[in-house]
Amino acid sequence: PGDGGNPWRFENDYLKKVTLVELEAIFKGNIKIPLINERLQILHELGHKLDVYKGSFANLFRENNFRAFGGSQYAGIIPTLAEQFPLAYEDISFWGYGQVGTPSKIYFRKKAQLLCVLYNNRATTSGGVLQSINDIEKISPIADYQVPRSLVDRGTLEYKPSLMEKIKAGTILPRHSREEIEIRANTVAVVTSLRDKINDLRLTMDPPKTPIHHGHLDAKLWLLGRKSPMPQHLTPTTAY
């Protein structure tokens, strides 16, 4: 509930004009939510640009034929979210500054991918009421704060001692810093390898089992990360 017991509404007309005072009341807790002004800008962007889709993400999903990624006829939900709502859903880092050639783009797009995963989870348990994502298997690993913790706990991801010291000390790793990018990129690489190995084993079972996708794996790893004694890395960002 918002201030005065009024429920927070997700209608785009409300998001267009929600004020900082209202947002602070919505997120009121035992600590002040970080980056509150940036989050306000995100909500204003969502409110205004949802007009294109008649105020509903459902229309955006339908226009992209419930496909996360594009093809000959559809741009895809994830590229569309990143293009239409960049403050909320674009999530790109650049690798290779200071080296010969143009820096490479790394498309993490954590929130856009997670939106598809969470929607698909709801759709697959809706008894056919909701249309599932047609290419959910193309979703890549969700690079956030929690998954690296579960990987470090199990020895599948290892930090060099100097980085581990910074994380344990609560040192801020700036957004787009080499250390922050490496944590996220290596998380993606490790989880991709883990999924592939799990699916190889599932195919050898009698009878063979259906392959899993990253939506299945992310939920498990995220929950394990939340329970981990390993501190999370600290990076001020609204991207994840």
C-beta of residue 175 within 8 angstroms of C-beta of residue 146: no
Confidence band for 1, pLDDT divided at 50, 70 and 90: very low
What 3-state DSSP class applies to 104?
strand
How distant is the alpha carbon of residue 166 from its chain centre? Answer: 24
Q: Which long-range contacts (CB under 8 A, 24 or more apart) does 56-62 make?
A: 60/84, 61/119, 61/131
Q: Does 1 or 164 have the greater pLDDT score?
A: 164
Residue in 44, 45, 56 with CA at minimum distance from that of residue 11: 56
Convert the pLDDT of each residue in 132-142 to its tens digit: 999 999 999 99
- Taking residues 220-240, what's their average pLDDT? 96
Count CA atoms closer than 13 A to 142's CA, side-chain side. Answer: 29
Q: Does 17 or 96 have the greater pLDDT score?
A: 17
Convert the pLDDT of each residue in 120-133 to its tens digit: 999 999 999 999 99
- So what's the pLDDT on residue 4? 47
Query: Using CA atoms, how far apart are residues 164 and 13, in angstroms rounded to an integer?
Result: 45
C-beta of residue 192 within 8 angstroms of C-beta of residue 156: no
Instruction: Using a pLDDT cut of 90, give the percent of the chain over it.
Output: 85
Residues in the chain: 240
Question: pLDDT at residue 7 above 90?
Answer: no
Convert the pLDDT of each residue in 93-119 to its tens digit: 998 766 667 789 999 999 999 999 999
Confidence band for 217, pLDDT divided at 50, 70 and 90: very high
Strand stretches in 90-210, DSSP E: 92-95, 104-107
- So what's the pLDDT on residue 98? 61
Query: Using CA atoms, how far apart are residues 80 and 69, in angstroms rounded to an integer?
Result: 9
Query: Using CA atoms, how far apart are residues 88 and 110, in angstroms rounded to an integer?
Result: 10
